[in-house]
Structure 1
Amino acid sequence: MFNPGNPTLTPIAVLTPAADDPAYKSHWPVVLDRLSSALALADVTAVPTAWTDHIHDASGLMDYPLVLGVLTWGYYERPADWRAATRLWGEAGVRIANPASVLGWNSDKSYLRRLEAAGVPIPPTQWTDQATQDLVEAAFDRFGTDTLIVKPTVSGGAWKTSRLSRGQTLTDAPPGAAMIQPFLPELVAAGELSLLFFGGRLSHAVNKRARAGDFRIQSQYGGQYVHLPEPPAAAVALAERVLTAIEEPLLYGRIDMVETAAGWVLMEAELIEPDFYLGEAPDRGRMFAEAVRARLDTGT
């Protein structure tokens, strides 16, 4: 926490989940401690504040030289509030990273369509305003698969995400717009690869695998994370292509991908509140801290 008696520390705000959100109550402070330890390497201290406290009034964020939106978990359960907040922060001129505009559009996975149009390979996807049983059943034949993934376009942490086999009923349909994809067996066999970038530089790579019998690679479902010292050159090239296609200046980004028979495909470009996996980073987040320090020193 910020110690006003220590003038060598630069306080920045870190947006956290809502105080009344039970889903992350015990977990986000652990991640914040990890971020804080890294930031201390650059003489920066993190001041946590719930993003939901700044939906209608940005004045509480204006005095900070930098605001990080890296712990706004749960925004997808309040999408209207999230969109209102990002618009407000942008209009008010809050010095926030990533930019408020990015925090807005990156919250809806339909951005993948724009990246695909720019030449970035993504898994085959059917986009729909509402996932229905009829659409799901037709998708099995459309994709030539016996297993599908159905998830909301506004989601995180596998929220409202279902894996369905032929003959199964969609019992937990996404509440709005959704995406239907063939299940990628490589996700279980080889795992998902995450490449972490800070200040435009590759920091580290992490292989994530689901526990036996599951398809979700998130740690809360038993997923295992392992540092990958030398990520494949083709994977790095894809990540750099994704970042090049995004015009706004990014302080951080996590590019998630899977290697299929046709090559590497982008699963998501996590630019809002990704876990940086600093526990798996060889430098424990020093590059992240240096990128924050550079942003503070230049005032951009």
Structure 2
Amino acid sequence: MHLAPVRYEAGMIEIAVLTPDPSDPSYAGQWPGVLERLGEALATGGLTAVPTPWTDHVEDAAGLERFPLVLPLIAWGYHRDHGRWMQACATWEAAGVRMLNPPSVLGWNSDKSYLGRLADQGVAIPDTVWVDSPTQADVDAAFDRFGVEQIVVKPRVSGGAWKTLRLSRGEPMIGAPEGPAMIQPYLPTIESEGETSLLYFGGRLSHAVNKRPITGEFRIQVQFGGQYVALPEPPAGALALAEKTLAALNEDLLYARIDMARDAVGGWLLMEAELIEPDFYLGSAPEGGRRFAEAVRARL
């Protein structure tokens, strides 16, 4: 998708930012703060963020067509309404909505099976078993296959560690995700070293952030107490893996967050390439906001 050029006027340029369904209370306490930080960042580039729920534009894209650019950066909740999300992506693509990242990317990136395709291209990911719907037998077999004492079960369509389980050998699987899922060995380094994210804007590295869970937790998201610290420089191995991942993706991306962790022998593994609604961690790396605004202005 090619964006039409936009003539800059003296005033601020309005761009749309997709937000959660207002009837969903799950994110009511979080997304306004994210929008505020994003809005402040965009304002440095002469841009005004206009919030609009993604759920208002599933069947008809007319409400988005007036904007020179639409950013799906707070389209939270799509993983719990995946059928409508895919419908929305098709609607936006068919209408030629000027959206970045492109609707086609928003569609395939919502299903973590893309990690398998990246692995086929030589990108290192954790050993993974893909199942249609996880059963206790699948879990037991995974323990034997991986030869580990702990595993993680995740839905293929998820967000914010939704329905993600960490299980020990012999522990019954309770609250398993429904539908297509992935089973991976648990990486103890998540607790000791955390996960490292590299943020790219306009194809260029902006900043790196290390995320660690609180004691006794394995989920690094802020809602579970995760602690985020900006790094002065990305680890060399993480940078190499991120660059290899972006090359394998071969997409026209305005932004990308590449999440990685190290295995037991120090090798870097791709955990996720978040191309839909990544947290940019501007609270930890505020200078990244200016870089993002510059990348957006360059596209306009």
Into which bin does the TM-score normalised by the smaller protein fall?
Answer: over 0.9
Asked if the contact 2:206–2:288 (Cα under 8 Å) also holds between the matched residues in 1, the reply is no
CA distance in 2, matches of 1:220, 1:38: 23
Deviations 1:238-266 (A, max 9, x none): 10111111122000000000012151000
Superposition deviation, residue 237 in structure 1: 1.1
Count matched residues: 291
CA distance in 2, matches of 1:258, 1:213: 18
Is 1:39 paired with 2:42?
A: yes
CA distance in 2, matches of 1:162, 1:31: 27
Is 1:93 paired with 2:93?
A: no
Q: TM-score, normalised by structure 1?
A: 0.95
Is 1:145 paired with 2:148?
A: yes
Asked if the contact 1:16–1:69 (Cα under 8 Å) also holds between the matched residues in 2, the reply is yes
Superposition deviation, residue 8 in structure 1: 1.1
User: Runs in 1 of length 4+ with deviation above 3 angstroms?
Assistant: none
CA distance in 1, matches of 2:106, 2:211: 24
Within 5 A, what are the aligned runs for 1:1-300?
A: 8-260=11-263, 261=265, 263-296=267-300
- Percent identity between the two aligned chains: 63
Superposition deviation, residue 175 in structure 1: 1.4
CA distance in 2, matches of 1:243, 1:87: 24
CA distance in 2, matches of 1:8, 1:60: 22
CA distance in 1, matches of 2:117, 2:141: 25
Superposition deviation, residue 213 in structure 1: 0.5
Equivalent residue, structure 2, for 1:3? none
SS at match of 1:155: coil
Deviations 1:99-125 (A, max 9, x none): 000000000000001100111000000
Asked if the contact 2:207–2:288 (Cα under 8 Å) also holds between the matched residues in 1, the reply is no
Q: TM-score, normalised by structure 2?
A: 0.95
Which AA in structure 1 matches 2:280?
A: F
CA distance in 2, matches of 1:86, 1:44: 24
CA distance in 2, matches of 1:187, 1:262: 12
CA distance in 2, matches of 1:233, 1:286: 24
CA distance in 2, matches of 1:196, 1:266: 14
Which AA in structure 2 matches 1:124?
A: D
Which AA in structure 2 matches 1:280?
A: S
Structure 2: state its 5+ residue gaps.
1-8
